[in-house]
Every structure is written in C-alpha cells, then in structure tokens.
Amino acid sequence: MSTLHTINKSPFDRASLQSCLRLAADGNAILLFEDGVYGAMKGSTVAELVEKALSNKTIYVLGPDMKARGVDESKLIDGIKVVDYKGFVELTVENDKVNAWV
C-alpha cells in the first residue's frame, strides 16, 4: 500500500515537513505545494533532511506554486521531481491514501 503525503506549509513556519520525513514509510511519495515548496530548496535549514529522505522516498514539488513564489528550478535539491496540476492528480490516483500534513 502506498501513501502520498502532501505538505503545504513552509518548513520555516511549521514542523510538518520534518515530521512527515521522519514518519513516512519507505517508498512513500511526498508532494510539496503552496508554501511547502520552500522545503525543496538547496541550502535551507531542512535541505539535509530532505536529501536523506530522497534515498527511500520520492519527493515532488508543484511547479506552478514554485513559480508563483519565485523559486527557480535551479534552486531545487537534486532528485526532487517537478509536477504540474495534472501530475498532482495522477499522484493522488496512483497512491492508495493521501495524508495531508498541516
């Protein structure tokens, strides 16, 4: 059984991303959207945690939300996949559960 974890809060305002990375099972997918996209940036205080999680989880970021916040793809941690709205929908269909971290 696979789970998609969604995070829409900045990792600098809430610990949702950190908690998700700690508790999500290996093989799960994580989607960062809205202010959650800031968790995908190189050099941030959570970058090392995100990089380690990529060894056993797939992490996605919603491209339109990233662009709306002025985050260029060149600033993303290597290994994070950018998806559009269609990709977001596909992730929800492909996974058995969706767990929203607030």
Residue 102 has pLDDT above 90, yes or no: no
Q: Look at the block and give the residue holding tokens 């290994």.
A: 79
Average pLDDT, stretch 44-73?
Answer: 97
Average pLDDT, stretch 52-75?
Answer: 97
What would the CATH number be for the domain defined by 3-101? 3.40.1260.10
Residue 59: name the closest of 102, 44, 87, 72 by CA: 87
Amino acid 44: pLDDT: 94
Give residue-wise pLDDT tens across range 83-99: 999 999 999 999 999 99
| pTM of the shown model | 0.96
Amino acid 72: pLDDT: 95
For 3-30, the DSSP string reads EEEEE-S-TTT-SHHHHHHHHSPTT-EE
| Average model confidence (pLDDT) across the chain | 96
Amino acid 101: pLDDT: 96
